[in-house]
Amino acid sequence: MKLPSWRKVLRGASLRRDFDEIKGLVVRYVKEETVQPLKDVARYAAFGAIGSVFVGFGTLMLLIGLLRFLQQFRVLDGSLSWLPYIIVAVAAIGVLGLTAWRIVADASVRRRLKDKS
C-alpha cells in the first residue's frame, strides 16, 4: 500500500525536527529580546537605588556633623541654642533644592538632545 505524499511528511522526523527548531528559535528570541533587557533594567535600577541610599545616608551624616560642629560654639548656647538647628534645616533644604534642580536640568537637556536628533 502506497501512502499519499502528505502522510510521508507527517510521519517523518523532518516535521518534528522543524517544529523543534522553530520552538527553540522562538524561545531564544524571547530570551534575548525581552528577558535580558528586563534583567539589565532591573540591575541598573537596583544599583541606582543602592547608590541613592548611600548618598542619602552620607548627606544625613554630613548634616548631623554640621549640627554638632555648630553646637560646640559658646555663642550659640543658651538663648540662641535653636540657631544651629535652623542653619542645618536651611542647609538640608538647599541640598534638596540642588538635587531637584539637577534632576530637572538633566531631564531638559536629554529632551533637547532628543529633539535635535
Measured CA to CA, the distance from residue 63 to residue 71 in angstroms comes to 12
pLDDT band at 55 (very low <50, low <70, confident <90, very high): very high
Mean pLDDT of 3-21: 67
pLDDT of 8 higher than 90: no
Cα–Cα nearest to 95, from 55, 67, 68: 55
pLDDT of 83 higher than 80: yes
pTM tops 0.75: no
Structure letter (DSSP) for residue 82: T
Residue 15 has a pLDDT of: 78
Measured CA to CA, the distance from residue 78 to residue 10 in angstroms comes to 96
pLDDT of 2 higher than 70: no
Residue 59 has a pLDDT of: 96
- Kindly report the number of other CB atoms within 10 A of residue 29's CB atom: 10
User: Is the Cβ–Cβ distance between 71 and 85 less than 8 Å?
Assistant: no
Mean predicted lDDT score pLDDT of the chain? 86
Residue 36 has a pLDDT of: 85
Q: Which of 39-48, 72-81, 83-92 has the lowest mean pLDDT?
A: 72-81
Q: Which residues contact 76 (CB under 8 A, 6 or more apart)?
A: 70, 83, 84
